C-alpha cells in the first residue's frame, strides 16, 4: 500500500468530535492559560489511550516511529505520517486533547532565512559553522528570507498538510527557536563572551534574529490557517500567538538575561500577540524575568523536576497569573479519583494548570470514566470552597 493510502487509513482512526465538544475543550485551554479571561468550566485533561502492541505510540515527542528526519525532510508524506501516528491515542477515550500536527524541522531550520548553511547532525539541524563577530555585524534579514531552503521546505509541508488533512486535524506551529536561541546558533558559545567584549554585536544579532522569528512565526500561522489569539502545540491550544524555545537562556545570569534576551522576547511577544516560552534544564535564576513580562502567558518546562519545589513554583505562578505544565506522579496503588483530588488540592482557582493521564487502549471501562472523575474532583474541590 502506498504511503498516501496509509495516511488516509490512519486519518480514519482519528475521528472528529462533536463541534460543541471541540469548542468547549479549546475554550478550556484558552481560558486556563489567560489570566485576563474568566475561569473555564473545568481544567483541561489530556487522555492518551496507548496501544500495547504499538510501542511507537509511546515514543517521546522528539523520537521517531518510522522515518528519520533526513527522510522526512525529503518527503512531506513521511513527515505527516510521523505526526499523525501520535494523534491516534488522543481519540480513544474522552478528553480535552486537541488534534494538531506540529512537526519538527530541527533546531536551525530558520537560519536558512539568513543564508546560513545548516547540516543534519544526530537527527536534527545545526549550523555548519559559527559566524565571526564581523560577519555578525554584517548580517541582515532579506525580504526574500522565506526562499531559504529549509524554510521553503517547511512552507511546502504546511501547504501539503493543510491540503490533505480534514478540518478537525489542525496544522500548528513548528518548534520555534526563540531570538536568543537563534542568536546562539549563529554565534555559538562565543556569544557569551561577546556580551562583555562586544555588546553592540550581540544586540545587532538579537535584532536580526527577532525580526526573523516574528516574520516567520506570523507567516507560518497564516499558511497553517491558525487563529491569531491562540496556538496549537501537541495536544494543547494555548492562549497567545506562539511558543518560544529558550533552552540556551538557562545558561545566562539574571542580569545578562534581562539585558540581552528579555527585551527581544518582549518585542516578539508583542508582535505575535503574546505566548509561552519553553526551556529544558534549571532556569530558576531567570524565571522571575519571564514572569514579569505582561503578555507572557506561561512557561512550558522541559525538565520541571530540576526547577525547585513544586509547591513554591505553583504559588509563584498563581501570584503572577501565569500558567505552567505542573506535573505530579500517580502512585501505583492510587486510584485515579484520589490522584485527581491530590492534584487539585493546592490549587486556589481553576486556572494556570492542566492534567494528563496515560492508560492502555484495552482499558476501555477505565478510559471512559477518567474525564468524569476529573470533573467530579473539581466539583468537589471548588464548589466546596465556594460554599
What is the rounded CA–CA span in Å between residue 170 and residue 162? 8
Considering the segment(s) 3-386 as one domain, its CATH architecture is Alpha-Beta Barrel (3.20)
Q: What is the mean pLDDT of residues 243-259?
A: 95
pLDDT in tens, 111-149: 999 999 999 888 888 999 999 999 999 999 999 999 999
Q: Where are the domains of the chain?
A: 3-386
| 3-class secondary structure, 162 | helix
Q: Rounded to two decimals, what is the model's pTM?
A: 0.93
pLDDT in tens, 8-27: 999 998 999 999 999 999 99
User: What are phi and psi for residue 228, nearest 5 degrees?
Assistant: -75, -30
Residue 387 has pLDDT above 60, yes or no: no
Per-residue pLDDT band for 59 (boundaries 50, 70, 90) equals low
pLDDT in tens, 83-111: 888 899 999 999 999 999 987 788 899 99
User: What are phi and psi for residue 163, nearest 5 degrees?
Assistant: -75, -25
Burial of 149 (0-12, 13-18, 19+ CB in 10 A): middle
What percentage of the chain exceeds 70 in pLDDT?
A: 96
Per-residue pLDDT band for 63 (boundaries 50, 70, 90) equals low
pLDDT of res. 385: 57
**Extended strands (E) in the chain:** 45-50, 100-101, 118-121, 124-127, 170-171, 230-233, 236-239, 242-245, 275-279, 296-301, 323-324, 355-360
pLDDT of res. 61: 45
Amino acid at each position: 500500500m502506498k504511503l498516501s493510502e496509509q495516511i488516509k487509513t490512519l486519518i480514519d482512526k482519528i475521528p472528529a468530535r462533536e463541534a460543541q465538544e471541540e469548542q468547549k475543550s479549546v475554550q478550556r485551554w484558552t481560558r486556563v492559560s489567560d489570566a485576563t479571561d474568566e475561569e473555564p468550566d473545568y481544567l483541561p485533561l489530556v487522555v492518551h489511550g496507548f496501544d500495547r502492541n504499538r510501542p511507537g505510540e509511546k515514543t517521546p515527542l522528539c523520537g521517531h516511529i518510522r522515518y528519520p528526519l533526513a527522510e522526512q525532510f525529503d518527503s512531506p508524506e513521511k513527515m505527516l505520517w510521523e505526526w499523525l501516528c501520535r494523534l491516534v491515542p488522543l481519540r480513544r477515550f474522552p478528553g480535552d486533547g486537541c488534534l494538531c500536527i506540529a512537526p519538527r524541522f530541527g533546531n536551525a531550520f530558520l537560519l536558512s532565512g539568513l543564508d546560513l548553511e545548516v547540516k543534519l547532525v544526530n537527527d536534527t539541524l545545526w549550523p555548519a559553522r559559527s559566524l565571526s563577530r564581523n560577519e555578525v555585524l554584517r548580517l541582515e534579514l532579506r525580504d526574500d528570507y522565506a526562499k531559504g531552503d529549509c524554510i521553503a521546505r517547511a512552507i511546502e509541508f504546511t501547504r501539503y498538510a493543510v491540503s490533505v488533512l480534514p478540518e478537525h486535524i489542525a496544522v500548528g506551529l513548528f518548534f520555534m527557536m526563540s531570538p536568543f536561541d537563534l542568536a546562539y546558533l549563529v554565534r555559538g558559545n562565543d556569544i557569551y563572551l561577546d556580551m562583555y567584549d562586544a555588546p553592540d554585536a550581540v544586540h545587532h544579532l538579537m535584532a536580526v534574529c527577532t525580526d526573523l522569528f516574528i516574520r516567520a512565526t506570523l507567516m507560518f500561522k497564516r499558511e497553517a490557517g491558525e487563529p491569531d489569539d491562540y496556538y496549537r502545540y501537541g495536544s494543547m491550544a494555548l492562549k497567545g500567538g506562539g511558543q518560544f524555545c529558550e533552552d540556551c537562556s538557562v545558561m545566562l545570569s539574571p542580569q545578562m538575561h534581562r539585558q540581552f534576551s528579555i527585551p527581544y522576547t518582549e518585542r516578539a511577544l508583542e508582535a505575535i500577540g503574546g505566548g509561552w516560552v519553553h526551556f529544558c534544564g534549571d532556569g530558576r535564576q531567570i524565571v522571575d524575568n519571564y514572569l514579569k513580562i505582561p503578555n507572557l502567558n506561561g512557561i512550558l518546562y522541559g525538565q520541571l523536576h530540576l526547577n525547585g519545589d513544586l509547591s513554591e513554583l505553583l504559588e509563584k505562578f498563581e501570584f503572577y497569573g501565569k500558567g505552567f505544565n505542573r506535573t505530579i506522579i500517580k502512585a501505583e496503588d492510587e486510584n485515579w479519583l484520589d490522584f485527581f483530588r491530590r492534584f487539585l488540592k493546592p490549587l486556589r482557582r481553576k486556572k494556570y494548570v492542566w492534567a494528563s493521564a496515560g492508560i492502555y487502549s484495552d482499558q476501555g471501562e477505565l478510559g471512559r470514566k477518567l474525564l468524569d472523575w476529573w470533573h467530579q474532583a473539581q466539583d468537589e474541590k471548588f464548589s466546596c470552597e465556594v460554599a
